[in-house]
Amino acid sequence: MNRGLLLALGLIFLFHLSAGVYLVYQRPALFFQNDAEEYYELGKNLGERGEFVIEKQRYYEPRRSKIIPEAYRTQIFSVAHGALVFCRIPAPAAAALLLALISVVSGWLMYAIAYRLTGGSVSASYLALILYQLHPLLGLYSVQFGSEAMFTAGLLWFYYSLISYRGWKQIILAAVAGAVTTLVRPTALVFLPAGVCLIFFLARSFHYRIWLKAGVYAALFFLILAPAGIRSLIQSGSFSLTGYLGGYNLYVGNNRHNLAAYTADNGHDFLHHQTLGWNEAIALVQALPADTTPAEADRYMMTRAKQELAEMGPGNVIRLFAGKAWHFLRPYPLPDIHGTFKFWAMTLLESLLFLAGIVGAFFLWKKEKAAFWAALMIIGSGFAGHTLVHVYMRHRVPFLIPFLILFSAVLFQQFLAYLSARKEHHEVLESDPC
């Protein structure tokens, strides 16, 4: 690692650590909110008492009369936080330190991936690192939702494993990265089948060796997740690799209110209908008998989601999925709810990033097809997974923004190469005017 990169990563760490410490002690309501509050409580209880539990009743779980082992949230982020707490670091400071450490890992991965994609362009690699650190949504969602930063780092690690190695090393490291990322957010479970498909697609062959590689990838991916499934089987009586929030999330994203949201004319109506669907999902869970197991609640909510889709009919189901697909891809936020300046600032930023990213992706496809298809597989996996379940702006950010930045770095490298070639051409003409 060169000194310049080491210095940059050191500055990134100090900035995130100081900002995090300020927020956890001076503005804790901003830091410990939404999903982040639960992840950090799990980590605190694990580090201080050795118990992976949350004491308070949560909106998405049936009423319970006793504390039960955590069955909804994935483990890795809270385990990492708990490890820091176990080392006698105060829980709030440990939260800030964890995000600062993750920011360094993500920064290094962005630089390393960009360096690989651009053929060793230091300037383009630093551009990717800087754009990643400056993008407002990456930092905001990392604070508000806790595990967001680690999940994004996991996606980058998975991509780095796919493009930086070959042969069995690539297969093994990609399987490890994909499985560990699944333990940060369940959406990454789609990388199990998607990764198998990518292996066959890039090989353009069904030779037995390719089948062996695909089998090893899938088996290793599954085996890393298996302890989580065994834990859920022992505690809840049902084998689940990713916890029991799937049914609730499926209903939240697939109900008549969400259909109305995605056909609304403005942002206010969109949020109104989504809130109705959200409140109805909470009411359904809270109406279940007390102490209904997480597995039973999960199956019940999945059944209700399927009923909602059946009652919509094929035409409305297509409209719903099309609306969610566009919400995942569109380069601007919801209109009418963010204020004029914020809306147009984000629209300009995202539109420029999308434009540069799409052009850069074209250049990447021309010179590094395997890297292009690997990136497209990751983006497509997030697109498919969230379109089928439900889509918020934060869901698309880890799958889109880092890769658009990396593609933009490829475009920047192409621009630098063009300027260099043009300069050499002029120098040749000047040295040989005849």
Give the pLDDT confidence score for residue 17 in this predicted structure: 96
Neighbours of 283 (CB within 10 A): 10
How far, in Å, CA of 143 to CA of 426, rounded? 50
> Given this model, what pLDDT does residue 432 score?
63
Q: What share of the chain is helix, strand, coil (3-state, %, to 5)?
A: 80, 0, 20
Q: Please say whether the dihedral angle defined by the alpha carbons of residues 72, 190, 157 and 333, taken in this order, is positive or negative.
A: negative
For the whole model, what pTM was predicted?
0.93
Residue ranges covered by each domain of the chain: 10-55+63-243+330-428, 244-329
Three-state SS at 199: helix
- DSSP class of residue 336 equals T
Q: Which of 221, 217, 277, 286 is nearest to 249 (CA)?
A: 277
Q: Vertex 224, ends 166 and 113: CA angle to 5°?
A: 35
How far is C-alpha 221 from the chain's CA centre?
18
Start-to-end CA span in the chain (Å): 47
Spatial separation of the C-alpha atoms in residues 216 and 222, rounded to whole Å: 10
Reading the chain (434 residues) residue by residue, the pLDDT tens digits are 688 999 999 999 999 999 999 999 999 888 888 889 999 999 999 999 999 999 888 999 999 888 888 889 888 999 999 999 999 999 999 999 999 999 999 999 999 999 999 999 999 999 999 999 999 999 888 988 889 999 999 999 999 999 998 899 999 999 999 999 999 999 999 999 999 999 999 999 889 999 999 999 999 999 999 999 999 998 888 899 888 999 999 999 999 999 999 888 888 899 999 999 999 999 999 999 998 999 999 999 999 999 999 999 999 999 999 999 998 998 888 877 878 888 899 889 999 999 999 999 999 999 999 999 999 999 999 999 999 998 888 889 999 999 999 999 999 999 998 888 887 767 676 776 55
DSSP per-residue codes, 250-312: HHHHSSHHHHHHHT-SSHHHHHHHHHHHHHHHHHHHHTSPTT--HHHHHHHHHHHHHHHHHHH
CA–CA dist 353, 270 (Å, integer):
25
pLDDT for residue 2: 85
Q: What is the pLDDT of residue 365?
A: 96
Residue 53 bridge partners (DSSP): 69
The answer to whether the beta carbons of residues 110 and 156 sit under 8 Å apart is yes
